[in-house]
Amino acid sequence: MPTFRIVISGRVQGVGFRAWIERRARELGLSGWVRNLRDGTVEAVFHGPADKVDEMIGRCRRGPSGASVAILERYEEKDPPPAGFLIRTSL
């Protein structure tokens, strides 16, 4: 199963993006995490079946209401995260 790390920029902090990602990832049965970064971006890791990871990344391109995604960068990762999905402390 694939693991991808994404970095989302635009109007993505202060709009409930992390909680939105956590809910959607859990609905899709994905493992991983999400956090805010100091530069105003949101970073997340998703691990699971390829179709579910692709669906989640597609959802992140739109984001929750109130968000405005400008850029979504996608990086394949070698190591999967621990089971479950959580919101990590911001960096």
Torsion sign, CA atoms 59, 28, 15, 41: negative
3-state secondary structure of 67: coil
- Return the pLDDT at 67: 96
Active site residues: 18, 36
Q: For residues 37 and 50, give the distance between their C-alpha atoms in angstroms, rounded to a whole number.
A: 26
Residue 25: burial class (beta carbons within 10 Å; 0-12, 13-18, 19+): buried
Query: Per-block average pLDDT, block size 10, for the chain (91 residues)?
Result: 98 97 98 98 98 98 96 97 96 88
- Return the pLDDT at 90: 93
- Return the pLDDT at 69: 98
DSSP structure class, residue 12: -
Token duo for residue 4: 């991808």
- Return the pLDDT at 73: 98
